[in-house]
Each structure stands twice: as C-alpha cells, then as structure tokens.
Amino acid sequence: MSKTLQEIRQEAEAKIAETLSADVLDEIKVSILGKKGELTQILKNMKDLAPEERPKVGQQVNEVRKAIEEKLEAKKAEIKHIMLTEKMKRETIDVTLPGKKMMRGHRHPNQIALEDLEKVFIGMGYQVVEGPEVEFDRYNFELLNIPANHPAKDEQDTFYITKDILLRTQTSSVQARIMEGGDLPIKIISPGRVFRADEVDATHSPSFHQVEGLVVGKGVTMADLKGTLDQFAREFFGPDTKTKLRPHHFPFTEPSAEVDVTCFKCGGKGCNVCKGSGWIEILGCGMVHPHVLEMCGIDPKVYSGFAFGIGLERVALLKYEIDDMRLLYENDVRFLKQF
C-alpha cells in the first residue's frame, strides 16, 4: 500500500532532523520531490482520483512539499553555519604570536671592499665612473699601446664577440674612453668587472673585478702617484701601512711599477698572510705613456698623468684573510655573512 501524505511528511522530517550531511539532504530531496520522487508520484496518480478530490489532494501535496522544502532549507542553513563555525575555529590566528622574521641579506665582501675603497678616493676628490664590459679592441688594447700582435694580448686572452669587440680584460679601457672624451683635468676611479680566458683556481677566475684610477692634468708627477697610493694604503689597510714601488712593465705607462704594501697583519715582520716577506703586492701603476696621451688626443708636452689598476678580489681576499678566491663566487650565505 502506498504511503499517505502524512507518512511521507513525517518520514522526511525525521530524516532531515537526524542528518548533518548536505549529501543526505540532497538524497532526501530527490527521493521525495525529484522526478521519480514520492510526492511527484502522488501527483501523477491524481488522474485516478475522482475529479472533485483532485484540487484537495493537489493542495495537500503542495502543503507537504512546501513544509519539506522549508525543513530542507532550514537544515541546509544549519549545516552551513556549523561548517563555518568549525572552519573559523580551525583557522583562528593567534595575533600575539611573534611575526616571521625577514631574512636580512648581507653585503658581499667584494662590495664591502669596493665601498671602502671608493670612500677613500672620493675623499681625495675622485669621481667614480663606469665603462662597458663589452668593449672595443680599440679601447681595451689599441689606445693603450697594445696594437695587434702585441704579446700582452696573449697574456690577456679573452672572449671575442667579433674581431673588434670583446669582453674587456682590464678596466684600463675606461682610461682611454675618458681621455678621448677630452674633459681635462681628469681625476677618476672606475670599478668594474673584467674577463679573461682563465681556468678557475684559488687565485684565478674568468671573471673578476678591478678598480682603475686615472689622473691627468698639468704638472702631475710620479710623486703625486706615490703620495696618492700611500694615502690610499693608510686609509684602506691601516695608518701604519707603508708602500713600496717595484719597477715593472705595462705597455700604457712609462715608467711603470708594481706596488707592495706592508703586511697589515704582521706589520712587515713576516707571517702567513704575506708568506714571510712582510710585503703584499696590491696593484700596478705608472705614468701615462706619452704615446697613449697622444693617441687619445691629449698633448703630452702640456699634460701628464698617472694611472693605477687595483685587483678588487685581491684586496678583499687580503683584507678579510680569505685564502681561496672561489669562495667569493659561490655565494654560500654561511660564508658571506662572516664579513
């Protein structure tokens, strides 16, 4: 025997009352109000009723449908509320917890050394200028007295883009650019990256940094060069540091010298840093070659100048007593944060 409307209603309401699942609510809805649902079935069977019965039954069915729908909606809202409350409980934030700390970066030892070095030269009235890393052979070699086939080109083999364009092997290229610019007097340093076709080892890298210095004016002498480097050494390595010029050769300076400073660790007595000699080589320098001045459009009879080139890694390694250049390029944070 088929269920009465009242039975359908009671059964549905009981089921709705005891569930807390949205899926079960859907099932109830389909089983009663769906296409093949129990109420729908009663409506379909209305044709078997006496015509005068039909409106009454129709009205009752509608009442039951409405009652069930209301219960379903109410339950749905209740479930939604419960889920939201639970979610909020799960996701409560303790605003009194300490925040996540921002990881602070750290300046690279190269950068620290460069900034220290720039400070010293800016203090002496120098301007800091930069030049391109991809450079013409003309500035990197030619105007520096290193014509094609000069043996110095072998020592500074590099990466060629074309026959005439290369990755610069030295920041000395900036000297030529600035002199050719023709603004005199000149008093600049030029830090930057340079490249050579070198294998990586504890003291070599195919890419490293130099800081070039150039002063051109009237009456500039070797004494000015020596005084400038003395001042730099004292400020950079410590007030008791002394310098020593050893004769050397560079194609673009005459005379040329290499400069040693007294070991900042032992003060000149000899130790592991200076390998027992008491001296450490830090740069190359000299008086700008008259032919270089001339090629760059400066009259060597009126003007003279000096230049120097400091290996940035070299002074950074020395200053921080690092014994392997590769450490500077590996960017291991545990290493970097020691400086």
> Mapping DSSP to helix (H, G, I), strand (E, B) and coil, where does residue 109 land?
helix
**Contact in structure between 308 and 258 (CB atoms under 8 Å):** no
Nearest-angstrom CA–CA distance, 41 and 33: 9
The reply on whether position 308 binds ligand DAH by CB under 6 A is yes
Sign of CA dihedral 231, 313, 175, 118: negative
The reply on whether position 141 binds ligand DAH by CB under 6 A is no
Q: Candidates 26-34, 85-93, 283-291, 314-322 — which segment interacts with ligand DAH by CB under 6 A?
A: 283-291
Residue nearest to ligand DAH (CB): 309
> Closer CB to ligand DAH, residue 29 or residue 150?
150
Chain positions 309 to 328 lying near ligand DAH, rule: CB under 6 A, are 309
Shortest Cβ distance from residue 258 to ligand DAH (Å)?
8
What string marks each residue from 172 to 211 as x (binds ligand DAH by CB under 6 A) or -?
x---------------------------------------
Report the b/e string of 62-101 with b at 16+ CB within 10 A: eebbeebeebbeebeeebeeeeeeeeeeeeeeeeeeeeee
Among 309, 121, 306, smallest CA distance to 220 is for 306
Shortest Cβ distance from residue 110 to ligand DAH (Å)?
17
The reply on whether position 212 binds ligand DAH by CB under 6 A is yes
Q: Candidates 73-81, 109-117, 260-268, 302-310 — which segment interacts with ligand DAH by CB under 6 A?
A: 302-310
Q: How far is CA 47 from CA 51, 54, 206, in A?
A: 8, 8, 96
Q: Candidates 53-61, 267-275, 305-313, 315-323 — which segment interacts with ligand DAH by CB under 6 A?
A: 305-313
Nearest-angstrom CA–CA distance, 108 and 294: 40
> Closer CB to ligand DAH, residue 191 or residue 309?
309
Nearest-angstrom CA–CA distance, 193 and 126: 20
Shortest Cβ distance from residue 309 to ligand DAH (Å)?
2
**Contact in structure between 175 and 169 (CB atoms under 8 Å):** no
Shortest Cβ distance from residue 223 to ligand DAH (Å)?
16
**Contact in structure between 292 and 144 (CB atoms under 8 Å):** yes
Among 138, 208, 207, 205, smallest CA distance to 175 is for 138
The reply on whether position 139 binds ligand DAH by CB under 6 A is no
> Closer CB to ligand DAH, residue 237 or residue 308?
308
Q: Candidates 101-109, 232-240, 280-288, 314-322 — which segment interacts with ligand DAH by CB under 6 A?
A: 280-288
Binding site for ligand DAH (CB under 6 A): 170, 172, 212, 250, 253, 284-286, 307-309
